[in-house]
Structure 1
Amino acid sequence: MTSRLRAGLGGLGGLPSAFWVLWAGTLVNRIGTMVQPFFALYLTTSRGFSVASAGGLLALFAVGQVFSQLIAGALADRFGRRTTLLGGMLASAALMVALAGSDSIGAFAVELFLLGVAIDVYRPASTALVADLIPGQDRTRAYSLLFWAVNLGYTAGVLIGGVLVKFGFQWLFWVDAASCAAFGLMVWFAVSETAPARAPAAVAAAGKRAEGLGTVLRDKVMTAFVLTTSGYAFVYMQTMSTLPLAMRAEGLSPAAFGVAMAVNGVVISVVQPLAASRLSRADLNKVLVAGMVLVGVGFGLNSLASSPFGFSATTVIWSLGEIAFTGASAATAVALAPPHLRGRYSGVYGFAWSLGGLPAPLVGAWLLGHGSATLWLACAAIGLGAALAQYLLGPAVARRTTAVAAAEAAAAGTAESQVAAGPARSDDR
């Protein structure tokens, strides 16, 4: 009975209470994410900046985001997951409050750049924390459920923000700041630190060579995984840039784009919790490849769409790919990492999204200038190319993850043996 109920709920059971604190905090934080969708509108209407000035300020925010997760990954390994997550959330809250009271372009420039740096600090800490708490087989399920919380919260946040903005933009900043602080404090007071101490054997093996970001970048398997992920990210990020433009070129109204995004939200909200358990039992690399294929095919089929129904149908396809890829990709990143470097590996994994996402609007717009079919067929080629590369990378990923899991199990066994043996005794006593 219990197993059937668990299967029916998509495998919501069996995860530690600390994970559900993180899940609830993520949901609260995403519900409060009201400022980002309205940044451009706020800067141009409430503060009176030109469109060009607003674009420049938002570019500074994006530049800050590029560095955010790389920095945060190192902090999560050095100072712990809780401290890093709390620091990032409190810094984000303080900057939201500062932005609400600023009126000069110079202050906005500094504060938006710093907010870009702070706003994603929680991601590597959260990703590493889940890996510390949950064994390998269940991580895909856990990351899938976190993604579900992000989607539910963000959808609610945009809707609530649309109502609050009628009473003034200041409300958005204050609610966003409160949700950031609440998330950080929930984790700080309800979750114990999980960062593993570095094993003595690993210290001896490393010798005098410092381990840091360079260690991750020299990891050929991880570097290859970053490149395939960036290819996926380039295609997926067209939803934020060229998709509404291409739909407008087909003579469709902004409302049609809203319908497509609503379909995306509904598919994820319904399917994600139901699919999470099944995805966790499947081969990790096969799930990644399937997700990339579905996203590539889904965006490629946009070349045949010309109506709200057509674009909604393609949205269903790439949304299913998004569901498969998101949880499996985070699980792969931490599975490749030695436990004491999970934060850094998670940060580099997050950087892969910037690597693919930053050029997405510019290159996508250039491709769209040559016709919608050119854009969408290029997306199909990139998505399927990334899927093929990930498929070929699969054996190397499997060897690495098996080796890391074996080393982790051996370290855990040694620690248990030491505890069972008790404190060392001296015969001289």
Structure 2
Amino acid sequence: MTTTAPGKQSFLRAAFGGMPRPFWALWGGTLVNRLGGMVLPFTGVFLTQTRGLSVAAAGLVMAVFGAGSLLSQLVAGTLADRIGRRATLTGGMVATAAALLALGYSTTLPAILASMLALGLVVDAYRPASNALVADLVSPEDRPRAFGLLFWAINLGYSVGMTAGGWLAQQGFLLLFWLDAVSCLIFAALVWRAVPETRPEAQAESGGFGVVLRDRLMIAYTLVILGDALMYAQTYTMLPVAMTSLAGLTTAQFGTAMALNGVLIVIVQPLVSGWLGRRDASRTLAAGLVVMGLGFTLTAFVTNTAILAVTIVVWTAGEIVTAGIAGTILATLAPAHLRGRYAGLFGLAWSAAGMLAPLLGSALLEVGGQRALWFTTGGIGLAAAAGMLAIGPAVRRRSTDFDSPLAGAR
């Protein structure tokens, strides 16, 4: 007993220690919000079964949501730099709660379209502010671990929320909307009360999105992240279609295999985030992208649940590697007073991938079947990794320019 306790304490310190108290408020709010995030995964079911929309009308509604999401990241990033990280995050969460309830009570197509556009505009508005807060609050050496812990909280909350949401949806969808809205308000309250404003006041109004768009290194990095996002977006767009329609798996078999993704992240992420943070960020991200690309390429050969499980283990390993590193590099590239805007462009890549992935994936499936889709997806991962290695030296030079020795001192 006495011989193992110190080791356990050492592990806990390595995995969870050293973070400032406001970070844990942000982490706790993120976890609560993801635990309550039950509406979006079941939106299509709500629209078609509860509101009686046709598949085409439901597709239109989801496209409107995607358009709002594209604008969201840029607007929220600007607000995080202008009015502050805390105000943007809490305001976005309160607005998300209102939009969720508006959607839950909407019964006509125009009202549903308006509510979904509003939800798209605000549901991810917290992300640029959250990224900027982590960069402001946490020292450079601890940022990979901090971003990894946030990724862990998101996946832990999402796994539990999805399971509960599937059961609660049978009791009535309106309950899901209320629980999701309450979780947003709890997140807002935690941040407002426990997280200080970290925006650099002296430079709060200097610069703009033009500065970000003229930063060729940031543009190149955004393209790398777009490649990452295009791969990952296939997991919730074309992967379910390909596995059930072409590989012959049942939905139950697919769901069981996909559960591995969340389980592995929850178990492994805290164990490796500290170690990954001590590696060179650019090379580590490139390695993670290669592993993800390999996992998706292997998906072309799936014929049963066991092989699918193997591919999921491979690309999940890559996802774990990239999770904490991507935000770390973003924090390295951005001047402190423009962290919100840089995070907005970073988030735009993920929003764009959410719209492009199903279009690209469905076209590839129609033209060349599974091999065309998964070989192309794997190729995107390799291209993104090569791009990351190419800009790695510039990223390392930038790291000496913007990281203040006072970061994390607040």
Q: One fold, TM greater than 0.5?
A: yes
Among 119, 135, 138, the residue aligned to 1:134: 138
Query: Is the contact made by 1:74 and 1:344 (CA closer than 8 Å) also made in structure 2?
Result: yes
Unaligned runs of 5+ in 1: 204-209, 417-429
Among 368, 376, 379, the residue aligned to 1:378: 376
Among 391, 394, 400, the residue aligned to 1:393: 391
Aligned pairs for 1:231-380 within 5 A:
231-248=227-244, 249-369=246-366, 370-380=368-378
- DSSP 3-state at the match of 1:240: coil
Aligned pairs for 1:17-416 within 5 A:
17-198=21-202, 211-248=207-244, 249-369=246-366, 370-405=368-403, 408-409=404-405
Offset, 1:242:
1.3
Using the alignment, how far apart are the partners of 1:179 and 1:80 within structure 2? Answer: 22
Structure-2 change in CA distance of 1:82 and 1:2 (3 Å): farther
Offset, 1:6:
3.4
Offset, 1:133:
0.5
Q: Which amino acid aligns with 1:385?
A: A
Query: Is the contact made by 1:9 and 1:273 (CA closer than 8 Å) also made in structure 2?
Result: no
Instruction: Give the TM-score normalised by the residue count of structure 1.
Output: 0.91
Using the alignment, how far apart are the partners of 1:100 and 1:305 within structure 2? Answer: 39
Using the alignment, how far apart are the partners of 1:29 and 1:175 within structure 2? Answer: 10
Using the alignment, how far apart are the partners of 1:31 and 1:132 within structure 2? Answer: 26
Instruction: Give the TM-score normalised by the residue count of structure 2.
Output: 0.95
What CA RMSD, in Å, does the superposition of the two structures yield over aligned residues? 1.7
Query: Is the contact made by 1:336 and 1:404 (CA closer than 8 Å) also made in structure 2?
Result: yes
Unaligned runs of 5+ in 2: none
- DSSP 3-state at the match of 1:358: helix
Query: Is the contact made by 2:47 and 2:53 (CA closer than 8 Å) also made in structure 1?
Result: yes
Using the alignment, how far apart are the partners of 2:339 and 2:221 within structure 1? Answer: 15
Offset, 1:125:
0.5
Offset from partner CA, 1:50-95 (integer Å, 9 cap, x none): 1111111111111111111111111011111110011000000011
Q: Which amino acid aligns with 2:24?
A: W
Q: Which amino acid aligns with 1:292?
A: L
Q: Which amino acid aligns with 1:388?
A: A
- DSSP 3-state at the match of 2:15: coil
Offset, 1:246:
1.6
Task: Choose 142-151 or 190-199, whichever is displaced more.
Answer: 190-199
Query: Is the contact made by 1:76 and 1:124 (CA closer than 8 Å) also made in structure 2?
Result: yes
Using the alignment, how far apart are the partners of 1:76 and 1:3 within structure 2? Answer: 41
Query: Is the contact made by 1:81 and 1:194 (CA closer than 8 Å) also made in structure 2?
Result: yes
* Match of residue 419 from structure 1: none
Using the alignment, how far apart are the partners of 1:46 and 1:242 within structure 2? Answer: 24
Using the alignment, how far apart are the partners of 1:223 and 1:260 within structure 2? Answer: 36
Higher Rg: 1
Offset from partner CA, 1:71-126 (integer Å, 9 cap, x none): 11110111111100110000000111111211111111111001100000110111
Using the alignment, how far apart are the partners of 2:123 and 2:89 within structure 1? Answer: 10
Offset from partner CA, 1:229-268 (integer Å, 9 cap, x none): 1011111111111111221211111112202210101110
Task: Choose 1-10 or 27-36, whichever is displaced more.
Answer: 1-10
Task: Choose 190-199 or 249-258, whichever is displaced more.
Answer: 190-199
Runs of 4+ in 1 over 2 A off after TM superposition: 1-10, 354-357
Query: Is the contact made by 1:230 and 1:357 (CA closer than 8 Å) also made in structure 2?
Result: no
Query: Is the contact made by 2:66 and 2:354 (CA closer than 8 Å) also made in structure 1?
Result: no
Question: Percent identical across equivalent pairs?
Answer: 48
Query: Is the contact made by 1:8 and 1:274 (CA closer than 8 Å) also made in structure 2?
Result: no
Offset, 1:311:
0.7
Offset, 1:9:
6.4
Offset, 1:10:
5.1
- DSSP 3-state at the match of 2:198: coil
